[in-house]
């Protein structure tokens, strides 16, 4: 006997076919198939589904000797939940095993390492419960709708950049509608909607998609004229108090800004030297520091900061992520666009690279930072999010005569790779110290910071380390590295892995970062990267492919 039920509903993209086989014998025998039929029909009715009995015949009686209830858990991304609970000191989570008990031994091992040593031997960021924001809370629909969608897509092969839209949008800023009208193709980061690029819907592929030329135009427009991007999806903190400077100096490997307005890129390390956080710190006053980091690190970085405030230390950490919007403008004409909108001198003498000032732009108060993740003259304007629309409109109007273009995360990634800028959770993880990650210029070994001894010990090993990060050009015509592609020597032996990559539209070549064995670190060294099953020659570069001396940033 066989029965099939087809359930469908307006919110269910994955119809379920249920097949029941009945058998003989057992104790407490009953018409088991009929009982299940009633159960599924009632369930379908309660959920608003329609149930069609496609084929039915009476079955024989089957008995039940043991009932095992084994529900399976699914998180919004089908990933495990293992690690510190957000905002709850010394509270740990080990749950969400969508694959089942097979994940248990590994989860137990790495959780124990994390609790005892403060980090694991491998990067487990994809399991960290703090990868989810408050939009995943029990009062909203996001977690349930995403978990159901993940269940339906559990065995699907997803292509790069492909998005799932269940439960979205959750967080949008005041210019979402304006960007959507311009053709923004959206991705989600920590609940926020962020534009990937502006143009036709992407036909996703493991090779270069139809978005390739659109992104190329965004890069060219930014490099040749100016570009504007919504960077609201970044974490933003204020660290306040008389002990704030000493506190941050203890946590970070780089020197703290000595003067008000100074800005530094720096890293927070574990006791074992692993790279825990990457942040940009701007000193707005002796007792006031503005800290920015990747949006996916909002809860992670906040917890790291708060956990290291010593008893009695005069330090307060405020999470202002939701309060502040960010608009970035960059490119050789960015100063010409911005200057008419403010009374502050934006010349190189009046507003130097790697500094920040509190200014007014088009009547909107801003923390203006002269930094650029795309490697061009430019500013980030951090402002009250409720005034974002008026600031955006003023910038777009001022930029129109200068050929201002909009660019999204795809173009930003291409341009940051051209500049050889490393990314947190790609090149920079707890698996490596600043030594392997080639971050020596961002480490002040004369300072006293968490992880200093481990970093010094690793530096003393010289080339006697497992791997080192290199930057390379890749010979390829229709695909680019995205991370985790094997790197092989001439004999075919695996000597490393890529961490990220992109096509550099300005320099006209495909670029990638990779961790390799130290003997392959020298500029000019050649090896192969296995990309989509094919071997592609790659060559280690000595410097950034675009503007290695930072002349564009200093003008």
Task: Give me the mean pLDDT over the 300-320 stretch.
Answer: 97
Longest CA–CA span in the chain (Å) reads 90
Q: Please give the pLDDT value at position 30.
A: 58
Q: What is the pLDDT of residue 3?
A: 39
Is pLDDT larger for residue 342 or for residue 28? 342
Average pLDDT over residues 342-353: 98
What whole-number distance in Å separates Cα of residue 246 and Cα of residue 248?
6
Tell me the C-alpha distance between 81 and 504, whole Å.
36
Q: What are the helix and strand counts (H, E) for the chain?
A: 12, 24
pLDDT for the residue 104:
85
* Residue 4 scores a pLDDT above 70: no
Q: Are 219 and 414 in contact (CB under 8 A)?
A: yes
What was the pLDDT predicted at 31? 66
Mean pLDDT of 236-247: 98
Q: How far apart are CA 436 and CA 255, in angstroms?
A: 20
Query: Between 129 and 36, where is the model more confident?
Result: 129
Q: Indicate the SS3 state at residue 531.
A: strand
Task: Give the SS3 label for residue 216.
Answer: helix
Q: In whole angstroms, what is the distance from residue 455 CA to residue 435 CA?
A: 7
Mean pLDDT score, 517-543: 98
End-to-end CA distance of the chain: 79
Contact between 292 and 265 under an 8 Å Cβ cutoff? The reply is no
Of residues 28 and 74, more confidence is placed in 74
Kindly give the pairing relationship between strand 405-406 and strand 227-230: parallel
Residue 13 has pLDDT above 70, yes or no: no
Instruction: For residue range 90-106, list pLDDT tens digits in order.
Output: 999 999 988 877 888 99
Q: What is the pLDDT of residue 15?
A: 52
Q: What is the pLDDT of residues 388-429, one digit of tens each?
A: 999 999 999 999 999 999 999 999 999 999 999 999 999 999
- Would you say residue 310 has pLDDT above 50? yes
Q: What percent of the chain has pLDDT over 70?
A: 91
Q: How does residue 69 score in pLDDT terms, banded at 50, 70 and 90?
A: low
Of the pLDDT bands very low, low, confident and very high (cuts 50, 70, 90), residue 45 is confident
Q: How many angstroms separate the CA atoms of 128 and 107, rounded? A: 11
Mean pLDDT within 195-224: 97
Buried b (16+ CB within 10 A) or exposed e, 385-399: bebbbebbebbbebb
Position 331 scores a pLDDT of 98
Strand blocks (E) in 71-199: 81-84, 92-95, 184-189, 192-198
Pairwise CA distance, residues 455 & 439, whole Å: 11
Please write the tens of the pLDDT for every residue from 164-180. 999 999 999 999 999 99
Query: What CATH class is the domain 228-414?
Result: alpha beta
Q: Of all residues in the chain, what percent carry a pLDDT higher than 90?
A: 81
pLDDT of residue 65: 59
Helix extents (H) in 433-480: 452-460
- Count of CB atoms situated within 10 Å of the CB of 248: 24
Query: Which range (131-145, 316-330, 336-350) has the least confidence?
Result: 131-145
Residues 6 or more apart from 38 whose CB is under 8 A from it? none
Residue 96 to residues 112, 150, 350, Cα–Cα distance (Å): 17, 13, 53
What does the pLDDT look like over 424-473, one tens digit per residue? Answer: 999 999 999 999 999 999 999 999 999 999 999 999 999 999 999 999 99
Mean pLDDT computed over every residue of the chain: 92
In which band, very low, low, confident or very high, does the pLDDT at 52 lie, cut at 50, 70 and 90? confident
pLDDT at 153: 85
Is pLDDT at 1 greater than 80 in this prediction? no
């Amino acid at each position: 006997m066989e029965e099939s039920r087809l359930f469908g509903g307006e919110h269910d993209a994955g119809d379920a076919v249920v097949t029941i086989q009945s058998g003989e014998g057992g104790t407490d025998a009953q018409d088991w198939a009929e009982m299940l039929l009633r159960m599924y029909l009632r369930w379908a009715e309660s959920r608003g589904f329609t149930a069609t009995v496609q084929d039915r015949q009476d079955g024989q009686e089957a008995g039940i000797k043991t009932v095992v209830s084994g529900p399976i858990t699914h998180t919004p991304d089908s990933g495990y939940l293992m690690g510190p609970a957000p905002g709850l000191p010394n509270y740990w989570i080990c749950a969400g095993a969508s694959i089942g008990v097979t994940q248990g031994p590994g989860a137990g091992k790495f959780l124990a390492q994390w609790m005892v040593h403060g980090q694991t031997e491998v990067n487990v960021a994809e399991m960290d419960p703090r990868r989810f924001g408050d939009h995943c809370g029990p009062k909203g629909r996001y977690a349930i709708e995403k978990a159901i969608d993940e269940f339906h897509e559990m065995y699907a092969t997803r292509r790069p950049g492909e998005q799932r839209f269940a439960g979205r949008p959750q967080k949008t800023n005041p210019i979402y509608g304006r960007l959507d009208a311009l053709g923004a193709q959206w991705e989600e980061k920590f609940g926020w909607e962020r534009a990937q690029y502006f143009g036709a819907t992407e036909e996703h592929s493991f090779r270069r998609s139809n978005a390739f030329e659109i992104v190329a135009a965004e890069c060219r427009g930014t490099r040749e004229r100016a570009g504007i991007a919504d960077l609201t999806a970044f974490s933003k903190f204020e660290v306040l108090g008389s002990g704030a400077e000493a506190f941050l100096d203890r946590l970070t490997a780089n020197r703290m800004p000595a003067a008000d307005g100074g800005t530094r890129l720096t890293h927070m390390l574990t006791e074992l030297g692993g790279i825990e956080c990457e942040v940009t710190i701007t000193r707005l006053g002796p007792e006031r520091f503005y800290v920015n980091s990747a949006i996916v690190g909002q809860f992670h970085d906040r917890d790291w900061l708060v956990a290291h405030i010593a008893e009695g230390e005069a330090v307060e950490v405020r999470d202002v992520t939701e309060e502040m919007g960010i608009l970035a403008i960059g490119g050789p004409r960015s100063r010409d666009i911005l200057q008419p909108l403010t009374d502050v001198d934006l010349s190189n003498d009046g507003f130097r690279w790697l500094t920040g000032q509190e200014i007014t732009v088009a009547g909107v108060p801003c923390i203006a930072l002269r930094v650029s993740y795309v490697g061009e003259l430019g500013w980030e304007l951090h402002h009250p999010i409720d005034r974002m629309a008026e600031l955006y409109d003023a910038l777009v109007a001022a930029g129109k005569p200068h050929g201002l273009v909009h660019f999204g995360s795809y173009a930003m990634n291409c341009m940051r790779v051209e500049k050889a800028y490393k990314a947190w959770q790609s090149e920079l993880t707890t698996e490596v110290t600043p030594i392997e990650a080639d971050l020596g210029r961002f480490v002040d070994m004369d300072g006293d910071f968490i992880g200093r001894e481990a970093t010094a010990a690793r530096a003393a090993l010289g080339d006697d380390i497992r791997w080192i990060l290199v930057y390379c050009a890749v010979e390829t015509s229709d695909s680019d590295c995205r991370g985790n592609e094997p790197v092989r020597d001439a004999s075919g032996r695996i000597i490393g892995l890529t961490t990220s990559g992109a096509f550099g539209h300005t320099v006209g070549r495909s670029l990638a970062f990779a961790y390799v064995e130290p003997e392959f670190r020298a500029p000019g060294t050649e090896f192969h990267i296995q990309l989509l099953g094919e071997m592609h020659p790659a060559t280690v570069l000595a410097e950034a492919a675009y503007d290695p001396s930072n002349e564009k940033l200093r003008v």
